[in-house]
Amino acid sequence: MPYAKVNDVEMFYEKMGFGETVVFLHSGYSRGILAFASQMPDFQRKYTCYFPDFRGHGRTRCDSLEWSTPQIADDISEYMDRLDIHKAHLIGYSLGANVALYLAVNHPDKVATLTTIGTGGFADPSGVEEFEPESLIEKGEHETINQMIERHEEAHRGDWQQFMRQSAIDWRLYPQLTADQIGSIRTAALFITGEHDRFAGEERVKRLSSLVKGSQYLVVPGGSHRPHMLRESPVFVNDAILEFLAANPIR
């Protein structure tokens, strides 16, 4: 299994396909290949696809259990250096979408295009309390608890409660980018949300898109926070992103 030494972590990743490079950035409670399982068949036909597991997530290993969105963005920048990836298309979902925004602001030379799914671009703690460990235990959310134990056991070494607390801290704080910082993004950008995404939604992505000159936004009809996933609209979302990437090749 491939690992890359990145800063103080051993970052696990999957790689597949041929062509221009796409780095997929997963959501907070998921891992690379889970968050983008519905994208792998389509994208690997035309692109070299990388699916890293973030610090604190999946099979990535680190002595510290602490992490943050900006820290993960720095990790991904170093990860690209380690793998000799000079520039890539970034596709980020939820937490990964925020990581992608930080990369586009702080490392613009590495970002060929920016695609986000499920972020409004600004910190919003609404709903975070539902995912704190005490709430999950009280409500008997055993399926979610077991998923967090199984998905991230190598990263959090069995301490799923610390993982969820760290996720809640990050959710409350980030992204902390200003409107001016977001407005500094000059790469081609596509901002996607589900019609019924309570964490993003049309009004938020419309505002985000208004800050980035020349960007586009897409509302997936009937979609939730994960419109790109199985049982929602993966073909619709994949086709939209693939068309966007084809129109904006790496230069």
pLDDT in tens, 41-92: 999 999 999 999 999 999 999 999 999 999 999 999 999 999 999 999 999 9
Place of tokens 């460990």: 133
Count of the separate structural domains present in the chain: 1
Token duo for residue 23: 């780095």
**Mapping DSSP to helix (H, G, I), strand (E, B) and coil, where does residue 184 land?**
coil
pLDDT digits (tens, 9 = 90+) for 126-141: 999 999 999 999 999 9
Measure Cα distances from 235 to 14, 164, 220, 232 in Å.
22, 31, 11, 9
Q: How confident is the model at residue 201 (pLDDT cuts 50, 70, 90)?
A: very high
Pair type for strands 3-6 and 9-16: antiparallel
* Mean of pLDDT values over 21-45: 97
pLDDT value of position 24: 98
**Listed range (69-73, 155-159, 214-218) with the worst mean pLDDT:** 155-159
Instruction: Report residue 241 CA to chain centroid gap.
Output: 15
> Is residue 192 in some structural domain?
yes
Dist. CA 183–CA 212, nearest whole Å: 5
| Both tokens assigned to 33 | 């290949």
Residue 162 is assigned to a structural domain of this protein? no
Looking only at the bridges linking them, the beta strands covering 47-52 and 88-93 are: unpaired
Does residue 117 lie in a domain region? yes
Neighbours of 58 (CB within 10 A): 26
pLDDT(1) > 80: no
List Cβ neighbours of 14 (8 Å cut-off, separation of 6 or more): 2, 32, 33, 50, 51
Segment 218-240 mean pLDDT: 98
93-146 residue pLDDT tens: 999 999 999 999 999 999 999 999 999 999 999 999 999 999 999 999 999 999
Q: Does 146 fall in a domain?
A: no
In a domain, 143, yes or no: no
Query: For the domain that residue 212 is a member of, what is the CATH number?
Result: 3.40.50.1820
Has residue 89 been placed in a domain? yes
The answer, as to whether pTM is greater than 0.95, is: yes
Quick check: is 99 in a domain?
Answer: yes
CA angle 24, 84, 247 (to 5 degrees): 50
Instruction: Find the mean pLDDT for residues 236-251.
Output: 98
Asked if residue 181 is part of any domain, the answer here is yes
- DSSP E strands in 57-110: the ranges are 88-93
Give the domain extent around 50.
3-125+174-247
